[in-house]
Amino acid sequence: MVGSNSSRRISVHQALGGGHVADVLLWKKWCGGVVMLTSATALWYLFERAGYNFLSFVANVLLLLVIILFFWAKSASLLNRPLPPLPDLEISEESVSMVANELRFWINFALSIARDIAIGRNLKLFLQVALALWIVSFIGSFFNFLTLVYIGVLLSLSAPIVYDKYQDHIDEKLCVTHRYAQMQYRKLDENVLRKIPLPLNKEKKMQ
């Protein structure tokens, strides 16, 4: 039975999309992982430790890039050299539409949650959202946004490969934790949540 479950299980590489991003996160293309880790560490050090201003950094990088491209193009015309190999710097309509559709999906998802809490009086969903927001607020009191992003990059480069290596053991521990959390929630639901009186809808009052 364990063998059948493991044969049907989706690999971590497939769960991450199976493309270039999955190869980088699982360190199959270690050059990409090293570049991502080095870049994130350098940016975090510049803005968090060295006190560099983000706007000044972007402006200086763009200024340096423009100067290099300008003198490269000038020297190429004087020395009969090829021009800088720049791609077509434009955003396709398909890319904009894909980003807009993805953004619309998540906005509608957040609005549906707000509707269920405000109108549907979904107490379970309300507690889940409140707990998630409290956890985010609690973590945010220890780290600023840039440090949280850097921690997220470190976790994205370490958690997938650790889970891929110890998937069976981690799944077993997660199942035990999930069963324990469900048991505690049932106790909370039976002893507390079901005893909270909820206001009736207007339709029920009219009836």
Q: Is the pLDDT of residue 20 over 90?
A: no
* Residue 29 near residue 20 (C-beta atoms within 8 A): yes
Pairwise CA distance, residues 136 & 145, whole Å: 11
Cβ(161)–Cβ(25) below 8 Å: yes
What span, in angstroms and rounded, lies between the C-alpha atoms of 167 and 11?
A: 9
Q: Which residues of 171-192 are buried (b: 16+ CB within 10 A; e: fewer)?
A: eeeeeeeeeeeeeeeeeeeeee
* pLDDT in the model for residue 64: 92
DSSP states of the chain: -HHHHHHHSPPHHHHTTSSHHHHHHTTSSHHHHHHHHHHHHHHHIIIIIS---HHHHHHHHHHHHHHHHHHHHHHHHHHTPPPP--------HHHHHHHHHHHHHHHHHHHHHHHHHHTS--HHHHHHHHHHHHHHHHHHTTS-HHHHHHHHHHHHHHHHHHHHHSHHHHHHHHHHHHHHHHHHHHHHHHHTGGGSPPPPPHHHHH-
pLDDT tens-place string over residues 55-102: 888 898 899 988 988 888 888 777 777 766 666 667 778 888 888 998
What is the pTM (predicted TM-score) of this model? Answer: 0.62
pLDDT digits (tens, 9 = 90+) for 94-128: 888 888 998 999 999 888 888 888 776 777 788 88
pLDDT in tens, 159-187: 888 888 888 888 888 899 989 888 887 88
Share above pLDDT 90 across residues of the chain, in percent, rounded to a whole number? 7
Amino acid at site 58: V
